[in-house]
Amino acid sequence: MDEGISDPTGFQAILTDDCWQHIVSRHPEMQPFKPSVLEAIGMPDAIYLGKRDPTRRIYRKRHLQVAGIGDSLDLLVFVGGADGYIATAYFAAYSLRMLGTLIWPSS
Amino acid sequence: MAFQLVQEFKFDNVDYSYDRRSDVLDISFGLPAPAIALQVEDWLAIQVRVNPPSLQGMTVIGFRKIFDKINRYAAEELPGRMRRLATTKLSMSYDNESDTLVMRWSEGASGLHRLLQRLSFRKKEKPSIFEPLSRVADAAHPATLTDQSLRNVYVERTLPSKDIIGIKILEFTKCGPAAIEGFLGAIVDTLFEPNAPHDENVHLITNALIERLRLDRQKFAVLTAA
């Protein structure tokens, strides 16, 4: 079943079963974190437009502790700006360079 | 100096999955396993396995969107590219006394060539030299932040052909993370901003990468200039 969720800017993102299966098949650590992925869209710490691909929206949500994975990690969720479909999601320890243009929060 | 082999990566067990709908390419060295990402830029992440810590793979977000403009058959040619990657070997050695890390890569021979190499019973070591990776700053071209992070990074090139076969990082304990960050950043900048002021060696490494992936440099230049 597809799940839709609005971000703080009103943009509607969609998580399909197929996409979720693909995410967990390649990133098995994500299995228990489907609600966290949806939460990262609905209540992110920041939203960016991709640096090299500005049509891509990137949601970042800080997690101080992720059981079995590590501490102080960012959950990154990548969404197609044109169709709203969630493309992938995973935990990142560090971003070497800017993800892109910060569009939310605007300040 | 006594270099100890720290880690050796063989990519012969490379596994990949390309999801056309989301345009995401996931490459793993071995079966997918729990990992944490080191995000290089918005389109590229290096995945590090949680337990035991080791290189797990990489994720390319927007693979077709980026690479189709360079080579329209990029997605179709993935199996061939992965087979080529499977012949690559990367070794990392560290010398405690000099606090130096050396990374070397090689592409294995295939078929008859490999058989002949095995039959020769000897390992050929080509002579090599090290050259600084960053350009030399002067009054007209002062050092950038990237140049500063690359000041301890040297490129190993064979003689006489001058093929790039490795990287050396001095003062690794102190400068290693910044040097790796600068190194990856310089490659990405050279890919997307070919006119960025980097040393010839950065361009050569990027070109070597493009050649290994069998991309078209001219098309990439047109794309990135657009």
pLDDT of amino acid A1: 77
Query: What single-letter amino acid sits at A93?
Result: A
Residue of A nearest to B64 (CA): A53
Q: How many structural domains is chain A composed of?
A: 1
Distance CA A39, CA A7 (A): 9
Mapping DSSP to helix (H, G, I), strand (E, B) and coil, where does residue B204 land?
helix
Packed helices B200-212 and B172-192: angle between N→C axes, nearest 10 degrees: 70
Tell me, what amino acid is at A57? R
User: What pTM does this model have?
Assistant: 0.81
* Closest-CA residue to B146 (of B102, B183, B98): B183
Q: For residue B222, is pLDDT > 60?
A: no
Which residues of chain B make contact with A70, given a CB cutoff of 8 A? Answer: 36, 50
Across chain B, what does the average pLDDT equal?
78
Tell me what percent of the residues of chain B surpass a pLDDT of 90.
Answer: 23
In which domain, by residue range, is A13 found? Answer: 3-104
C-alpha distances (whole Å) from A38 to each of A1, A41, A80 are 14, 5, 15
- Contact state of A29 with B35 under an 8 Å Cβ cutoff: yes
* Residue B127, token pair as written in the block: 């002579």
pLDDT score at B110: 57
Asked whether the predicted pLDDT for residue B143 surpasses 90, the reply is no
Q: Give kind and range of the element (H or E) at residue B100.
A: strand B100-107
Complex ipTM value:
0.94
DSSP state of A8: T
pLDDT at B30 over 70: yes
Check residues B87 and B98 and name the one with the higher pLDDT.
B98
Token pair, residue B183, equals 């190194």
Q: Is the Cβ of A93 closer than 8 Å to some Cβ of chain B?
A: yes
Residue pointed to by tokens 């003689």: B159
Q: Tokens 């070497």 map to which residue?
A: A96
For residue B48, which residues of chain A lie inside 8 Å, CB to CB? 93
The verdict on a CB contact (< 8 Å) between B34 and A29 is yes
φ, ψ dihedrals at A36, nearest 5°: -65, -35
With a CB-CB cutoff of 8 Å, which residues 149-188 of chain B face chain A? 181, 184-185, 188
Residue range B142-167: mean pLDDT, rounded: 81
- In single-letter form, the type of residue at position B153 comes to V
Residues 36-95 of B with CB under 8 A from A: 36-43, 45, 47-48, 50, 59, 61-62, 65-66
Task: Return the structure tokens found at A39.
Answer: 């939460």
**Helix, strand or coil, per DSSP, at residue B5:** strand
CA distance A58 to chain B (A): 8
Tens-digit pLDDT profile for residues B174-214: 888 888 888 888 777 777 766 666 667 777 777 666 665 55
CA distances to A23, A70, A88, B187 from B205, rounded to whole Å, are 32, 33, 29, 7
Residue with tokens 């650590």: A29
Which whole number is the average pLDDT over A17-40?
Answer: 96
Q: Using one digit for the tens of pLDDT, what is the confidence trace for B83-96?
A: 777 888 888 899 99
B151 CA: distance to closest CA in chain A (Å): 18
Which of chain A's residues have a Cβ under 8 Å away from the Cβ of B47?
27, 90
- Provide the edge-to-edge strand list for the sheet that holds B153-158: B4-10, B88-95, B100-107, B164-169, B153-158, B128-132
What is the Cα–Cα distance from A33 to A77, expressed in whole angstroms?
12
**Lowest mean pLDDT: which of A64-73, B63-72, B148-157, B205-214?**
B205-214
Classify B113 in phi/psi space as left (phi over 0), alpha (psi -120 to 50) or beta.
Answer: alpha
Best probe of the B interface among A26, A33, A37, A59, by most B CBs < 10 A, is: A26
**Confidence band for A92, pLDDT divided at 50, 70 and 90:** very high
When pLDDT is cut at 50, 70 and 90, the band that residue B35 belongs to is very high
Chain segment B113-136, per-residue pLDDT in tens = 556 655 655 556 678 999 888 766
Contact flag A97-B41 (C-beta cutoff 8 Å): yes
Q: Is the pLDDT of residue B109 over 70?
A: no
- Nearest alpha-carbon partner for B35 in A38, A70, A95: A70
